[in-house]
């Protein structure tokens, strides 16, 4: 085997082993450099993998040299490669940005532990996207969740402990449900390999055990991806976690949970079972809508900006759920597109908030007064990413919403389209509140707030420019998302 054949395992193994080595270094700066190197090499590998997948189809790798279903198989298709690209690129950018923010927010003696946990969370998420084995997915889910709990609790604010504990309880229930679901499927099919499951499930699909397994899996992943009304852990966790952690998790963790749900719903159970014979499509549409409207409404009234954007994340997940619930090619493509676009905008927004936290130290909306003049570049970034969040034409956010509206109109459900636009309108209000404070509020006197350092601004602006670029040039995102969806539909009738 040549080095190229090992890429699927290397993309996970490099950050994983770097994470293990990190705690050995007392010096936080060294740990940061290691983490940075690992994340960028993973990103490079992810690009190569996606290239391989697009050129020569699904990439497979047999761990331990045992062929599936006896051994564990890594399997990357277009969807997996696409999500892997999201995770690795955000990790690389967030880590490039992280140094100063982490030195500011984490206790000095624990910085190398922090980076180790960060890399573990990252490799856990990457592992979920590349694996082709249901139980292996659970193992990596555990790695990523455990380290996320630790990362959130590392926040400066004491309330972060409570938030992490809440997340830990909800997350563990979710993980247990997923495990039970996988157990039920194994009981009925005798296999854990995803492709093999997909082949063997239809035979036994009409049993109570499989239906119960389906229910456990969807509720479990629903908890993990913060689907309304299972989102209660998310606002506090995002609001009180260290800035770097919020930026990374908001942009990746829920996306990977959505990916895993898609993998099970469409890749294993198949559209016919999940969305047609089970009434799950209607449930998803209903919950998605409820999530969009209620969370956006709550976001409008938030005083803490980080919390406001956390609620906005719940709303954005609503759009994704809605897209999946449409059960059509356009709808699911829109959901997949929104995974990428939402990662771009929320990454940029939460990183900008981190820059504000670094210079100002507080997150109340009144603290933003006058920042438009003090931190012009950071605020401009918030403005552009905010426009993308609303879905203004010319930004990435517009593209996914456009496809979502198309999807609803395709089915003739125009009231849904109206409600989606209402959600955008609510986003306009809450983003408007931040910008109003920043550009028209009177700054507090004698504050010596300066623009954020370049090491933070550059990664933020890369994401901001990506928001605009993918709003104008839709070839890559739309092309990948539609191909990924086509593959999902074609794999199974």
Among the listed residues 11, 31, 150, 435, the single contact to another protein using CB under 8 A: 150
Contact between 117 and another protein per CB under 8 A: yes
Handedness of CA 141, 242, 233, 85 (dihedral sign): negative
Please list the residues that pair with 131 across neighbouring strands.
Answer: 74
String of DSSP letters for 114-145: HHHHHHHHHHHHHHHHHB-BHHHHHHHHHHHH
Q: How many residues bind another protein (CB under 8 A)?
A: 63
Site string for another protein, 166-185 (x = CB under 8 A): -----------x--x---x-
Contact between 64 and another protein per CB under 8 A: yes
Cα 356 to Cα 350: distance, rounded to the nearest angstrom: 10
Closest approach, Cβ 62 to another protein, in A, equals 5
Among the listed residues 47, 215, 283, 491, the single contact to another protein using CB under 8 A: 215
Contacts of 176 (CB under 8 A, 6+ apart): 220
String of DSSP letters for 389-457: HHT-TTSHHHHHHHHHHHHHHHTT-HHHHHHHHHHHHHHHHHHHHHHHHHHHSPPPTT----PPPHHHH
Judge contact between 332 and 316, C-beta under 8 A: no
Determine if residue 190 is left, alpha or beta; phi over 0 gives left, psi from -120 to 50 gives alpha, anything else beta. Answer: left
* Number of residues written out for the chain: 493
Contact between 413 and another protein per CB under 8 A: no
Closest approach, Cβ 198 to another protein, in A, equals 14
Cα 285 to Cα 304: distance, rounded to the nearest angstrom: 29
Contact between 147 and another protein per CB under 8 A: yes
Among the listed residues 32, 40, 149, 259, the single contact to another protein using CB under 8 A: 149
Site string for another protein, 95-114 (x = CB under 8 A): ------------x-xx--xx
When the beta carbons of 210 and 379 are compared against another protein, the nearer one is 210
Judge contact between 270 and 194, C-beta under 8 A: no
When the beta carbons of 7 and 266 are compared against another protein, the nearer one is 7
Among the listed residues 4, 24, 409, 454, the single contact to another protein using CB under 8 A: 24
Segment near another protein (CB under 8 A); pick from 213-221, 357-365, 390-398, 460-468: 213-221
String of DSSP letters for 147-177: HHHHHHHTSSSTHHHHHHHHHHHHHHHHHHH
Contact between 278 and another protein per CB under 8 A: no
Among the listed residues 4, 54, 212, 282, the single contact to another protein using CB under 8 A: 212
Closest approach, Cβ 327 to another protein, in A, equals 24
- The C-alpha angle with vertex 296 and arms to 290 and 300, in degrees rounded to 5, equals 145
Rg (CA), the chain: 21
Closest approach, Cβ 221 to another protein, in A, equals 15
Site string for another protein, 184-203 (x = CB under 8 A): x-xxxxxxx-------x---
Closest approach, Cβ 81 to another protein, in A, equals 19
Closest approach, Cβ 233 to another protein, in A, equals 14
Contact between 448 and another protein per CB under 8 A: no
When the beta carbons of 113 and 413 are compared against another protein, the nearer one is 113
Contact between 205 and another protein per CB under 8 A: no
**Tokens encoding 434:** 């931040």
Contact between 4 and another protein per CB under 8 A: no
Closest approach, Cβ 6 to another protein, in A, equals 6
Tell me the backbone φ, ψ of residue 205, rounded to 5 degrees: -60, -30
Site string for another protein, 224-243 (x = CB under 8 A): --------------------
Contact between 248 and another protein per CB under 8 A: no
Cα 246 to Cα 348: distance, rounded to the nearest angstrom: 11
Contact between 127 and another protein per CB under 8 A: yes
CB atoms within 10 A of CB 94: 28
Task: Say which residue the tokens 């670094």 belong to.
Answer: 358
Contacts of 483 (CB under 8 A, 6+ apart): 78
Among 450, 432, 449, 448, which residue's Cα sits nearest to residue 440? 432
Closest approach, Cβ 189 to another protein, in A, equals 5
Judge contact between 457 and 450, C-beta under 8 A: no
Among the listed residues 29, 51, 159, 209, the single contact to another protein using CB under 8 A: 209
Contact between 424 and another protein per CB under 8 A: no
Contact between 6 and another protein per CB under 8 A: yes
Q: Which positions touch another protein (CB under 8 A)?
A: 1, 6, 9, 13, 16-17, 20-21, 23-24, 61-66, 69-72, 107, 109-110, 113-114, 116-117, 120, 127, 135-136, 139-140, 142-143, 146-147, 149-151, 153-154, 177, 180, 184, 186-192, 200, 204, 207-213, 215-216
């Amino acid at each position: 085997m040549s080095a190229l054949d090992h890429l699927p395992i290397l993309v996970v193994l490099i950050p994983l082993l770097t994470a293990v080595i990190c705690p050995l270094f007392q010096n936080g700066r060294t740990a940061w450099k290691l983490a940075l190197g690992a994340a960028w090499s993973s990103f490079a590998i992810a690009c190569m993998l996606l290239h391989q997948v697009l050129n020569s189809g699904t990439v497979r790798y047999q761990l331990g040299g045992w062929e599936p279903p006896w051994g564990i198989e890594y399997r990357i298709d277009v969807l997996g490669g696409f999500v892997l690209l999201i995770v690795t690129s955000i990790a690389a950018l967030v880590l490039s940005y992280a140094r100063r923010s982490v030195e500011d927010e984490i206790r000095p003696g624990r910085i190398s532990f922090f980076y180790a946990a960060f890399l573990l969370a990252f490799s856990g998420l990457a592992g979920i996207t590349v694996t082709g084995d249901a139980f292996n997915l659970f193992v990596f889910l555990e790695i990523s969740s455990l380290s996320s709990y630790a990362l959130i609790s590392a926040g400066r604010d004491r309330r972060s402990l409570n938030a992490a504990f809440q997340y830990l309880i909800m997350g563990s229930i979710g993980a247990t449900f997923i495990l039970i679901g996988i157990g039920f499927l194994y009981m009925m099919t005798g296999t854990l390999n995803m492709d093999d499951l997909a082949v063997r499930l239809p035979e036994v699909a009409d049993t109570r055990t499989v239906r119960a397994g389906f229910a456990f899996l969807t509720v479990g992943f629903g908890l993990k991806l913060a689907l309304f009304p299972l989102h209660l852990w998310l606002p506090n966790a995002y609001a009180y976690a260290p800035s770097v952690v919020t930026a990374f998790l908001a942009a990746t963790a829920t996306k990977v949970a959505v990916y895993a749900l898609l993998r099970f719903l469409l890749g294993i159970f198949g559209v016919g079972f999940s969305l047609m014979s089970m009434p799950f499509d209607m449930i998803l549409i209903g919950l998605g809508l409820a999530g969009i409207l209620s969370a956006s409404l709550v976001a409008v009234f938030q005083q803490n900006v980080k919390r406001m954007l956390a609620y906005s994340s719940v709303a954005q997940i609503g759009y994704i759920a809605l897209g999946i619930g449409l059960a059509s090619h356009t709808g699911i493509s829109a959901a997949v597109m929104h995974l990428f676009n939402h990662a771009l905008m929320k990454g940029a927004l939460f990183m900008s908030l981190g820059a504000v936290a670094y210079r100002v130290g507080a997150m109340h909306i009144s603290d933003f007064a006058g920042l438009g003049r003090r931190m012009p570049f950071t605020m401009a970034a918030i403005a552009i990413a905010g426009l993308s969040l609303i879905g203004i034409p010319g930004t990435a956010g517009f593209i996914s919403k456009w496809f979502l509206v198309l999807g609803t109109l395709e089915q003739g459900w125009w009231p849904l389209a109206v409600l989606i636009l209402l959600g955008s309108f609510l986003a306009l209000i809450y983003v408007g509140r931040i910008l109003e404070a920043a550009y028209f509020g009177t700054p507090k006197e004698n504050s010596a707030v300066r623009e954020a350092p370049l090491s933070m601004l550059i990664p933020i602006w890369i994401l901001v420019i990506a928001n605009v670029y993918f709003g104008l040039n839709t070839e890559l995102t739309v092309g990948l998302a539609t191909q990924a969806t086509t593959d999902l539909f074609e794999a199974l009738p």
